């Protein structure tokens, strides 16, 4: 918040612009030890410019820093350490939170510009995979964070609903499918048909030709084929909607790959007009520097995933005029997106600079990739249901008299899954363990939710009613670590967006929870005469935890 900015401004002025303000701001560190103050600026860079030792420079600069907000300024080993005036910082921070409530941390960085976020994007007729769960959860959090930062967010679900595999599926259904069975459990049945197709095609390769022919019919709009395809799509989407409802996630569009079927011809023409299309063994490719060529049209005339993404990118720019366009997709597709962006650049689309692939790691079970394909079919919907049941059992143990147990269990079970994913930097692989996620202690979603509920309960017990001078007195030194974290919350949101990394928010929520629980253990919050002042801090914690959880896509029950 402003205190760090004031410090950065002072340093920038003192070094006469040798280092620009933005860089100074980024260079300011948070010292590990409290004895080193609240902020520190390292002077090692400056040593090059001044031809003096860092400690000489820090000593000189420290003497010149003048700000009534700082308690003291020290020079230690090449660092300028500043100590904030606890009373002032505490009251400004708490007052600002109580004034803005859930709008604390709102920014106008985005200036209402549009950002499209392509996330979740599962493949129809297949189970919703763990990878799609990660994309869903990360993409949703990034959407919420971007909105809070002043962007207009368009949530896009680019359904995998087109491609040769649907030709195969149609052949399999026509040969072996039973309508009733598919209606009963679409994903399971369609998957079984797809697997059967591959088994049979091993013995009889001519099936593959039939599959290709069926897809060609689909691409050319054959009515009967389209009807089957549409039915598979509708049934699959119904299943996916159950998961989105459980997670509380919505989209602005479900236009998937099929939607771009008619839009591809134009793109192919454009590529050819720009002289970018090269024939290669009957197929058409765009050659790229530094990467393998991008395949645009196969030798049998059919198009590909890449062609559809090309058409989609152009359509999205035309439709939404995005400044940024994100794709939350597993890291296995890194090359695909590099090629996509490179082709757009070759086409002369300057706006491709605003596009980014946001990759993520895998979900592992006992160290191995969790697969929904082979062996036992794990349906995500059932995994979520299991988490909710487990949460319900925990709640029944801890708080048997809770009135809306079912609803809270849902919020806790779902919150646990989401938090477990988001607390890790997205590129790290994560281990999937329902028991671990649902613990009420340790680094879990339920722990943060529980801390929020504890704060809410204190406010009820203390019959807290807001007053205009709340936050104006700083009583307990034990509260200082909490205040500093609350002060950092807005910046953390900005950084999480800059790095496309919601884990920074999850981490600060854990830190706030830990320091609040420490405070709760040693300070008698409800004792007079300082009850009101302390409860205003409790309220500030309550507000920030709730808002932080919301940004991750997690509900914060008042009681649990
Ligand atoms: N359906 C794809 C998959 O499951 C992900 C699509 C991602 N979005 C995109 N525009 N390519 O691998």
Burial class (CB in 10 A: 0-12, 13-18, 19+), 542: buried
Answer for the pair 147, 131: CB distance below 8 angstroms, yes or no: no
**529: preceding bond cis by omega (within 30 degrees):** yes
What's the full length of the chain, in residues?
A: 560
Establish whether residue 329 lines the binding site of ligand 1, counting it when its CB lies within 6 angstroms of any ligand atom.
yes
Question: For every residue of 17-64, which 3-state class applies, written as one string?
Answer: CCCCHHHHHHHCECCCCHHHCCEEEECHHHHHHHCCCHHHHHHHHHHH
Q: Work out the average pLDDT over 83-90.
A: 91
Alpha-carbon span 239 to 372, nearest angstrom: 15
Phi and psi, residue 294, nearest 5°: -95, 120
Report strand pairing: 324-328 vs 114-118: parallel
Does the pLDDT value for residue 338 go beyond 90?
Answer: yes
Closest among 136, 145, 134 to 428, alpha carbons compared: 134
Establish whether residue 419 lines the binding site of ligand 1, counting it when its CB lies within 6 angstroms of any ligand atom.
no
Does the pLDDT value for residue 1 go beyond 60?
Answer: no
489 C-alpha to center of ligand 1: Å?
Answer: 33
C-alpha pair distances (Å), 338 with each of 184, 276, 352, 408? 41, 17, 11, 43
Establish whether residue 146 lines the binding site of ligand 1, counting it when its CB lies within 6 angstroms of any ligand atom.
no
524 C-alpha to center of ligand 1: Å?
Answer: 53
Alpha-carbon span 45 to 27, nearest angstrom: 10
Establish whether residue 123 lines the binding site of ligand 1, counting it when its CB lies within 6 angstroms of any ligand atom.
yes
How many Cβ atoms sit within 10 Å of the Cβ of residue 220? 10
Ligand 1, residues 135, 154, 156, 158: which to mutate, most atoms within 8 A of Cβ? 158
290 C-alpha to center of ligand 1: Å?
Answer: 23
Report strand pairing: 79-84 vs 70-76: antiparallel
Ligand 1, residues 121, 255, 294, 371: which to mutate, most atoms within 8 A of Cβ? 121
120 C-alpha to center of ligand 1: Å?
Answer: 8
Residue 438 structure tokens: 């649902």
199 C-alpha to center of ligand 1: Å?
Answer: 26
Q: Work out the average pLDDT over 254-275.
A: 95
Q: Using one digit for the tens of pLDDT, what is the confidence trace for 364-413?
A: 887 777 755 444 556 788 889 999 999 999 999 999 999 999 999 999 99
Alpha-carbon span 143 to 118, nearest angstrom: 10
Q: Provide the pLDDT for residue 100.
A: 97
Side-chain half-sphere of 465: how many Cα atoms within 13 Å? 0
Most confident of 136-145, 160-169, 388-397: 136-145
Q: Using one digit for the tens of pLDDT, what is the confidence trace for 220-238?
A: 899 999 999 999 999 999 9
If you take atom 9 of ligand 1, which residue's CA is the nearest one? 158
Alpha-carbon span 192 to 395, nearest angstrom: 38
Q: Is the ipTM of this complex over 0.90?
A: yes
305 C-alpha to center of ligand 1: Å?
Answer: 8
Ligand 1, residues 120, 127, 160, 259: which to mutate, most atoms within 8 A of Cβ? 160
Alpha-carbon span 27 to 42, nearest angstrom: 7
Q: Using one digit for the tens of pLDDT, what is the confidence trace for 343-371?
A: 999 999 999 999 999 999 988 887 777 75
432 C-alpha to center of ligand 1: Å?
Answer: 22
- 3-state class of 523 per DSSP? coil
If you take atom 1 of ligand 1, which residue's CA is the nearest one? 160
Ligand 1, residues 251, 333, 337, 352: which to mutate, most atoms within 8 A of Cβ? 333
Establish whether residue 411 lines the binding site of ligand 1, counting it when its CB lies within 6 angstroms of any ligand atom.
no
Alpha-carbon span 387 to 482, nearest angstrom: 31
Establish whether residue 130 lines the binding site of ligand 1, counting it when its CB lies within 6 angstroms of any ligand atom.
no
If you take atom 11 of ligand 1, which residue's CA is the nearest one? 309
Element housing 297 (H / E): strand 294-297
160 C-alpha to center of ligand 1: Å?
Answer: 6
Establish whether residue 255 lines the binding site of ligand 1, counting it when its CB lies within 6 angstroms of any ligand atom.
no
Establish whether residue 359 lines the binding site of ligand 1, counting it when its CB lies within 6 angstroms of any ligand atom.
no
Side-chain half-sphere of 251: how many Cα atoms within 13 Å? 22
CA angle 125, 222, 184 (to 5 degrees): 30
243 C-alpha to center of ligand 1: Å?
Answer: 18
Q: Using one digit for the tens of pLDDT, what is the confidence trace for 192-220?
A: 999 999 999 999 999 999 999 999 999 88
Establish whether residue 309 lines the binding site of ligand 1, counting it when its CB lies within 6 angstroms of any ligand atom.
yes
Q: Provide the pLDDT for residue 368.
A: 77
Report strand pairing: 152-156 vs 283-286: unpaired
| Pairs from 144-147 (Cβ < 8 Å, separation ≥ 24) | 144/550, 144/551, 144/552, 144/553, 145/493, 145/496, 145/497, 145/502, 145/505, 145/551, 146/110, 146/115, 146/117, 146/497
For residue 157, what are the contacts with CB-CB under 8 A and spacing of at least 6?
118, 119, 120, 121, 251, 253, 254, 256
Question: For every residue of 143-181, which 3-state class applies, written as one string?
Answer: HHHHHHCCCEEEEECCCECCCHHHHHHHHHHHHHCCHHH
Q: Provide the pLDDT for residue 217.
A: 92
The secondary structure of residue 131, as a DSSP letter, is H
Phi and psi, residue 117, nearest 5°: -125, 115
């Amino acid at each position: 918040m402003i205190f760090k900015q004031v410090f950065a401004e002072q340093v920038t002025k003192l070094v006469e612009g040798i280092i620009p303000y933005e860089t100074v701001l980024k260079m300011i560190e948070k010292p590990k030890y409290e004895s080193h103050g609240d902020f520190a600026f390292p002077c090692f860079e400056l040593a090059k410019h001044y031809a003096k030792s860092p400690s000489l420079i820090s000593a000189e600069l420290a003497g010149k820093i003048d700000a009534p907000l700082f308690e003291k300024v020290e020079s230690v080993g090449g660092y300028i350490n500043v100590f904030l005036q606890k009373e002032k910082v505490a009251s400004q921070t708490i007052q600002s939170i109580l004034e803005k409530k859930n709008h604390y941390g709102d920014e106008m960085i985005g200036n209402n510009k549009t950002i499209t976020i392509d996330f979740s994007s599962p493949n129809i007729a297949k189970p919703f995979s763990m990878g799609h769960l990660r994309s869903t959860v990360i993409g949703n959090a990034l959407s919420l964070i971007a909105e809070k930062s002043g962007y207009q967010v368009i949530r896009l679900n680019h359904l995998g609903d087109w491609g040769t595999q649907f030709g195969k599926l149609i052949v399999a259904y026509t040969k072996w499918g039973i309508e009733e069975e598919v209606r009963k459990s679409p994903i399971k049945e369609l998957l079984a048909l797809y697997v059967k197709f591959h088994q049979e095609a091993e013995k009889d390769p001519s099936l593959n030709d039939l599959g290709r022919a069926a897809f060609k019919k689909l691409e050319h709009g054959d009515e009967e084929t389209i009807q089957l395809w549409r039915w598979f799509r509708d049934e699959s989407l119904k299943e996916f909607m159950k998961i989105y409802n459980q997670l509380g996630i919505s989209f602005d569009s479900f236009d998937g790959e099929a939607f771009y079927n008619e839009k591809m011809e134009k793109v192919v023409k454009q590529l050819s007009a720009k002289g970018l299309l090269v024939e290669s063994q009957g197929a058409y490719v765009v050659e790229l520097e530094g990467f393998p060529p991008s395949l645009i049209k196969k030798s049998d005339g059919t198009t590909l995933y890449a062609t559809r993404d090309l058409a989609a990118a152009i359509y999205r720019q035309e439709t939404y005029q995005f400044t940024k366009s994100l794709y939350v997709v597993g890291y296995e597709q890194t090359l695909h997106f590099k090629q996509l962006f490179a082709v757009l650049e070759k086409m002369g689309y300057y706006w491709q600079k605003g596009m980014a692939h946001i990759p993520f790691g895998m979900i592992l079970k006992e160290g191995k990739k969790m697969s929904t394909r082979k062996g036992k079919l794990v349906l995500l919907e059932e995994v979520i249901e299991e988490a909710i049941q487990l949460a319900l059992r925990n709640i029944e143990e801890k708080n048997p008299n809770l009135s809306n147990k079912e609803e809270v269990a849902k919020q806790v079970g779902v919150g646990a899954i989401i938090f477990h994913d988001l607390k890790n930097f997205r590129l790290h692989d994560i281990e999937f363990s329902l028991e671990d996620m649902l613990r009420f202690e340790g680094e879990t979603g339920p722990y943060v939710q529980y801390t929020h509920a504890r704060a809410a309960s204190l406010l009820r017990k203390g019959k807290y009613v807001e007053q205009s001078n709340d936050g104006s007195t700083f009583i307990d030194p034990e509260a200082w670590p909490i205040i500093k974290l609350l002060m950092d919350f807005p910046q953390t949101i900005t950084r999480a967006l800059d790095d496309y990394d919601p884990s920074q928010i999850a981490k600060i929520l854990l830190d706030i929870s830990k320091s609040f629980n420490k405070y709760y253990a040693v300070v008698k919050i409800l004792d007079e005469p300082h009850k009101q002042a302390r409860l205003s801090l409790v309220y500030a914690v309550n507000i920030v935890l709730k808002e932080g959880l919301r940004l991750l896509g997690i509900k914060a029950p008042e009681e649990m």
